[in-house]
Amino acid sequence: MSNIDNNLVLVLIDAIEHNKFAEALTAVKGLPSVDLADILEQLDPTLGWRLLECLPDRADVFSYFEPEQQVRMAREFPRATLAQLVSEMPADERTDLFKRFDQNQRDILLPALAHAEREDIRRLSAYVEGTAGALMTSDYATLQKEMTVAQAMAYLRDEAPDAETIYQAYVIDDKRRLLGTVSLRDLILADLHKTIEDLMISDVVSADVIDDQEDIAKKIARYDLLALPILDQYRVLVGIVTYDDAMDVASEEVTEDIHKSAGVSTIIGSLKDASIGLLYRKRIFWLVLLVFGNLFSGAGIAHYEDIIAANIVLVFFLPLLVDSGGNAGSQSATLMVRALATGEVVMRDWLQLIGREALVALALGCTMAAAVSILGYIRGDETVALVLALSMVSIVMIGCMIGMSLPFVLSKFNFDPASASAPLITSVCDATGVVIYLFIASKLLEDVALAAV
C-alpha cells in the first residue's frame, strides 16, 4: 500500500545532512503520519531520528514504526528524550512499547516518567496478552451524570482528548462504574441546559477485561462502534478499545487462521523479518506429524500389495484418486472454517449443512467420476473404468463429509476449527482414499479374474 516518493526521500536526506531542518519539515508538511513513518524507516537511523525529533507530531509518527524498529530506535535515544516521546504516545501504544523493552531499558525509562504515566503503564501491562485488557487504552473521556450539556462540552474542550476518543464519552458514578455513554453528536445537538443523565444511553455494549481480543474485534464490527468500553468484574470502567485497534486485531486473527489452514503455527510479527529458525519451528511440527500420518496410506497400500503387483495400472490412477478426495475435502473444510470464524454458521447448523453437503459431494463426485472413467477406459478397460468411477464417487463423498465435519468436531471439543487444515484433511482423505480405491479394485478385479476362470 505504501507509495513512497523516492524523490522526497532524496530531498529529505540532503536537507537533514545539511542541517536544513526547516526545509525538511516543509517537504513533509501535510503528509499523514503513517506515510512519514514509512519514509523515516527507509532513512539511515541517525538521520531518521534527527528528523523525527523536530516533527510536531513525532509521538504519532513513532507509533507507526514496526515494533522492532521502535525498540531499536528507543535504545539510541537519550533518556529525557525517550521519556518525553513515551509520555506523548497513546497509552496503549506506550504500554506495548514498554512490554517489548528489556529490564535494563525499563529501569532507565520508568524513573524519568511522571508518576501518573508510570502507574498507567504498570496497570495496563499487567493484563494477559490477547485479552481486552492488553488491547485497551486509558485515553478516554468520562462525564458525570449530573453535568449539564454545557458543562460537559466545556469539560471535553479542556481535556481535548484524541480525535479517536472524543466522539464517545462515558458516564461513570463515583466508583467509576459505567452508567451510560454519550456521543459528541448528541451533545452538540442537545439543549445546553439538559443533564447528561437525560441524554445518555444506558444500555451500553461493553466487554469484560479478560475477554479474548478476537471477541472484542467481532463486537466492535458487529455493533459498528468507534470504541468499546471495557469493564472489570465490578463493572468498573478500566479502559476502551478503539475501532482501529480492533481492525488490526481482526487482520492478525485472519492471518493466524490462514496460516493454520496450511498447517503453519502462528508467526508473530512480519513475515519479512521472521528468522529462519522461527519459520522452521512454526512449520516443522505439522510437516513431521503428517509424515507419520501418511504411514496409514502406506499401510493401506501394503495391505493390497498383491492386487497392485497384479494390476500395475492401478498405481497410475492412485495419486489422482486420493488427491481428489483431499481436494474436495479441503474445499468443504475451508468453507466451513471460514463460516464458523465469521459467525455465519453455528454449531446447531451442522445437521442441515451435512445433508446439503452430501448432495453437493454426490454431484461433484459424479462429474469427476465421468472424467476419470474415460481416462481409465483409454488406459485400461471397462472394468478399470468402473473401478475408477465407483472409487471416485466414494472418495469424494467421504472426503467432503470429513472436511465438513472435522471443523465442527474440533470446535465441539474446544479446539480451534482452523486446525482442520488442508494438509491434515489431505492426509486423512489420502488414507481413506487408498483403502477405498484398492478395496473396490480388489473386489471388482477379483470378480473379473474369477469370471475369466
* Residues 73-112 close enough to bind a copy of itself by CB under 8 A: none
Going by C-beta distance under 8 Å and a sequence separation of 6 or more, which residues neighbour residue 141?
155, 156, 159, 161, 165, 166, 169, 170
Which residue from 5, 244, 382, 446 is in contact with a copy of itself, where contact means CB under 8 A? 244
Q: Which range in 48-56, 109-117, 227-235, 239-247 contacts a copy of itself by CB under 8 A?
A: 239-247
349 binds a copy of itself (CB under 8 A): yes
| Cβ closest to a copy of itself, residue 107 vs residue 269 | 269
Binding mask 310-329 for a copy of itself (x = CB under 8 A): --x--xxxxxx-xxx-xxx-
What is the enclosing helix (H) or strand (E) of 325?
Answer: helix 313-342
Which 433-452 residues touch a copy of itself, going by CB under 8 A? 434
387 binds a copy of itself (CB under 8 A): no
| Cβ closest to a copy of itself, residue 127 vs residue 437 | 437
Secondary structure of residue 345 in the 3-state scheme: coil
Q: Which range in 5-13, 16-24, 96-104, 371-379 contacts a copy of itself by CB under 8 A?
A: 371-379
150 binds a copy of itself (CB under 8 A): no
331 binds a copy of itself (CB under 8 A): yes
Helix ranges (DSSP H) in 77-114: 79-88, 91-100, 103-109
- Write the single-letter amino acid at 232: D
Beta pairing, strands 168-172 & 142-143: parallel
226 binds a copy of itself (CB under 8 A): yes
CB of 358 to a copy of itself, least distance (A): 10
Going by C-beta distance under 8 Å and a sequence separation of 6 or more, which residues neighbour residue 270?
66
| Cβ closest to a copy of itself, residue 111 vs residue 277 | 277
Secondary structure of residue 170 in the 3-state scheme: strand
339 binds a copy of itself (CB under 8 A): yes
422 binds a copy of itself (CB under 8 A): yes
Q: Which range in 100-108, 139-147, 229-237, 332-340 contacts a copy of itself by CB under 8 A?
A: 332-340
In this structure, are residues 216 and 239 in contact, taking their beta carbons and an 8 Å threshold?
no
280 binds a copy of itself (CB under 8 A): yes
**For 192, left (φ over 0), alpha (ψ -120 to 50), or beta?**
alpha
Beta pairing, strands 178-183 & 168-172: antiparallel
Which residue from 80, 271, 451, 452 is in contact with a copy of itself, where contact means CB under 8 A? 271
Which 167-196 residues touch a copy of itself, going by CB under 8 A? 167, 183-185, 188-189
User: Site size for a copy of itself, by CB under 8 A?
Assistant: 116
CA distances from 167 to 126, 160, 179, 295, 329 (A): 28, 11, 17, 60, 48
338 binds a copy of itself (CB under 8 A): yes
In this structure, are residues 205 and 181 in contact, taking their beta carbons and an 8 Å threshold?
no
44 binds a copy of itself (CB under 8 A): no
CB of 103 to a copy of itself, least distance (A): 30
Secondary structure of residue 448 in the 3-state scheme: helix
Q: Rounded CA gap, 56 and 79, in Å?
A: 19
| Cβ closest to a copy of itself, residue 59 vs residue 109 | 59
CB of 49 to a copy of itself, least distance (A): 24
Cell 454449531 -> residue: 347
40 binds a copy of itself (CB under 8 A): no
Rounded CA Rg of the chain:
31
| Cβ closest to a copy of itself, residue 13 vs residue 362 | 362
Q: Rounded CA gap, 194 and 177, in Å?
A: 22
Catalogue the E-assigned strands of 205-248: 207-208, 227-231, 237-242
CB of 105 to a copy of itself, least distance (A): 26
267 binds a copy of itself (CB under 8 A): yes
In this structure, are residues 232 and 210 in contact, taking their beta carbons and an 8 Å threshold?
no
Which residue from 89, 91, 135, 364 is in contact with a copy of itself, where contact means CB under 8 A? 364
User: Measured on CA atoms in the order 224, 230, 231, 237, is the torsion positive or negative?
Assistant: negative
Which residue from 114, 128, 201, 268 is in contact with a copy of itself, where contact means CB under 8 A? 201
